[in-house]
């Protein structure tokens, strides 16, 4: 689905969690991840539209895409073990890396694509 604001995306995530009866802990993590990724779009890129897809099968997967130039979100660095070693602005991505079982970024045909699995 296509969204144009943080509020729209978070409402979608909340409704998804309710509809699929996602337990409270996983719902909290999913909302935190979505909020961080969406906030980064509006804070660090010129994109004003994004696409958000969520599936709940054996695991919960979230995919977020937006059209923009390639933006290095610094997720290719080795996992840090403590917050003090993070570069400025890297706390949200650090948190996602810590709580997700998979977190990856790709860039295809002018679109940044983030995939997260809980």
Residues 41-55: pLDDT tens digits? 998 889 999 999 999
Q: Where are the domains of the chain?
A: 1-50
User: What six digits make up the tokens of 21?
Assistant: 């009866």
pTM: 0.86
CB 64 within 8 A of CB 47: no
- Is residue 34 pLDDT above 80, yes or no? yes
Tell me which residue of 56, 42, 45 sits closest to 13, measured CA to CA. 56
Q: What is the pLDDT of residue 93?
A: 80
Q: What is the pLDDT of residue 92?
A: 80
Please report, to the nearest 10 degrees, the dihedral formed by the alpha carbons of residues 58, 102, 61, 47 taken in order.
180
Q: How far apart are CA 62 and CA 18, in angstroms?
A: 16
Least confident of 3-17, 84-98, 100-114: 84-98
Burial of 90 (0-12, 13-18, 19+ CB in 10 A): middle
């Amino acid at each position: 689905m296509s969204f144009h604001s943080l509020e729209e995306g978070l409402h979608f995530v909340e409704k998804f969690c309710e509809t699929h009866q996602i337990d409270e802990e996983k719902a909290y993590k999913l909302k935190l991840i979505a909020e961080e990724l969406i906030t980064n779009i509006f804070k660090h890129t010129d994109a004003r539209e994004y696409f958000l897809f969520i599936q709940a099968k054996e695991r919960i997967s979230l995919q977020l895409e937006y059209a923009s130039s390639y933006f290095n979100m610094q997720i290719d660095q080795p996992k840090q073990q403590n917050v003090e070693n993070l570069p400025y602005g890297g706390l949200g991505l650090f948190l996602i890396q810590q709580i997700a079982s998979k977190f990856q970024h790709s860039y295809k045909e002018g679109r940044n694509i983030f995939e997260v699995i809980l």
